[in-house]
């Protein structure tokens, strides 16, 4: 029996079998299994957006979904002056972007957010739905404007400044989240961003802790990280960047050793795992077993926008597929690398087999 026939045989026997189990049974690598699955799906042997095996793992993303505008400067940005730019618009929002990234990775994903009753909001939800994300639990608020995020990018793709109008998320109350709890409680994992109010964030942390639902959180920005409560018990992992980690740890981060110390300080607030993204310096993560530094995957940078969201999605993909925190971080770095190589906030190249292929390329020979 050839490899494809073996894979189909095991899927028929157990539609919920994991890629790792298939790899063990067939005797090939997990990344090779991902490649076979992709080919079988393209040929229609396996039906649907992703094969059934992933669909038992619902991931719910709660937080921002807004209109993103990118203004790319045609010359080196000069502050306090007029700068010629080209402007593009796309769907954005941390929770929404991570949901779309997860959808592209074949995960069964739902988005809970709120938009205004305007053309921008309708477009954002429609585009998100087209990418296979369930948006049926989101609210349309008649008197509010959909959130917007505008980024000014320099000629090298680096962000100079960003402007956010996110007042609508203050309207998403703990009572509204409680209405959706039967849906939330069914999830394998919850991802939360800090676009929500401090009260709603506290509600999610407390209730997920009490009901033992794995909760993962992105602080979004240092300003929004201030909404977080002092105690973070109930969080499975938090994913700050360097600035956010400085605020959460109450210390400056100038070196990798500083980052290790800061990660442990954040863990002391009750969160189980801390993953600090450091851009071109990679990632530092802290678990019960200690801290580790991972270097980034080398790539030509086209646009940094969306790389952090891609990292979070790759990390969540790994965690919900029973990978270790270290391997999940490596998958996150691979997802970020694919996103850095495109002008789009969500890379169209994002596929599980692409992530594992990048990891294999990075392995020392």
The DSSP code for 134 is: B
pLDDT (tens, 9 = 90+) of the chain, 365 residues, equals 788 888 888 877 666 677 888 889 899 998 888 888 888 877 777 764 344 433 346 999 999 999 988 899 999 999 999 999 999 888 989 999 999 999 999 899 999 999 999 999 999 999 999 988 999 999 999 999 999 989 899 998 888 998 888 899 999 999 999 999 988 988 999 999 999 999 999 999 999 999 999 999 999 999 999 999 999 999 999 999 999 999 999 999 999 999 999 999 999 999 999 999 998 899 999 999 999 999 999 877 777 778 899 999 999 999 998 899 999 999 999 999 998 888 777 888 888 988 998 888 876 43
Which residue is listed with tokens 């739902």?
110
| CATH number listed for the domain at residues 57-362 | 3.40.1190.20
Which residue is listed with tokens 């607030």?
269
Residues 187-196: tens digit of each pLDDT: 999 999 999 9
In sequence order, which ranges of 221-300 are alpha helices (DSSP H)? 222-225, 242-249, 256-267
- pLDDT for the residue numbered 18: 76
Quote the crossing angle between the two packed helices 3-13 and 30-42, to the nearest 10°: 90
310, 347 Cβ separation under 8 angstroms: yes
- pLDDT for the residue numbered 186: 85
Sequence spans of domains, the chain = 16-56, 57-362
CA distance 54 to 58: 9
- pLDDT for the residue numbered 51: 47
Alpha carbon 90 to chain centroid, angstroms: 17
Q: Which residues are bridge partners to 161 per DSSP?
A: 152
Q: Is 286 helix (H, G, I), strand (E, B) or coil?
A: strand
- pLDDT for the residue numbered 293: 97
Residues 144-199: tens digit of each pLDDT: 999 998 989 999 888 899 888 889 999 999 999 999 998 898 899 999 999 999 99
State the burial class of residue 300 (Cβ atoms within 10 Å of its Cβ: 0-12, 13-18, 19+).
exposed
Report the run of H or E that residue 204 belongs to, with start and end: helix 198-210
């Amino acid at each position: 029996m050839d490899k494809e026939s073996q894979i189909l045989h095991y899927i028929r026997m157990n539609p919920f079998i994991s890629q790792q189990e298939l790899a063990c049974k067939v005797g090939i690598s997990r990344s090779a299994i991902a490649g076979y699955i992709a080919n079988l799906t393209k040929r229609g042997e396996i039906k649907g957006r992703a094969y059934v095996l992933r669909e038992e793992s619902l991931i719910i993303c709660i937080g921002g979904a807004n209109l993103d505008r990118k203004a790319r400067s045609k010359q080196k940005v000069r502050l306090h002056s007029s700068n010629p730019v080209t402007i593009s618009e796309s769907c954005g929002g941390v929770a929404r972007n991570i949901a779309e990234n997860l959808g592209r990775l074949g995960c069964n994903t739902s988005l809970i957010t709120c938009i205004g009753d305007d053309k921008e909001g309708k477009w954002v939800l429609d585009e998100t739905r087209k990418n296979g994300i369930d948006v049926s639990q989101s609210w349309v608020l008649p008197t509010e404007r959909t959130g917007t995020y505008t980024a000014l990018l320099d000629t090298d793709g680096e962000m100079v400044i960003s402007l956010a109008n996110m007042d609508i998320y203050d309207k998403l109350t703990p009572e509204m989240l409680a209405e959706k709890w039967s849906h939330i409680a069914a999830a394998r994992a919850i991802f939360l961003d800090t676009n929500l109010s401090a009260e709603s964030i506290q509600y999610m942390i407390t209730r997920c802790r009490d009901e033992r639902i794995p909760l993962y959180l992105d602080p979004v920005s240092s300003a929004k990280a201030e909404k977080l409560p002092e105690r973070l018990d109930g969080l499975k992992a938090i994913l700050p960047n360097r600035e956010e980690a400085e605020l959460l740890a109450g210390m400056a981060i100038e070196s990798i050793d500083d980052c290790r110390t800061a990660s442990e300080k954040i863990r002391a607030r009750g969160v189980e795992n801390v993953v600090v993204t450091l851009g071109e310096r990679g990632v530092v993560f802290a678990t019960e077993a200690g801290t580790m530094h991972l270097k980034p995957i080398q790539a030509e940078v086209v646009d940094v926008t969306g790389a952090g969201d891609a990292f979070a999605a790759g990390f969540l993909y790994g965690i919900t597929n029973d990978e270790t925190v270290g391997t999940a971080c490596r998958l996150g770095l691979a997802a970020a690398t694919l996103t850095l190589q495109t002008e789009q906030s969500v890379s169209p190249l994002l596929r599980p087999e692409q992530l594992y292929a990048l990891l294999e390329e990075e392995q020392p020979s």
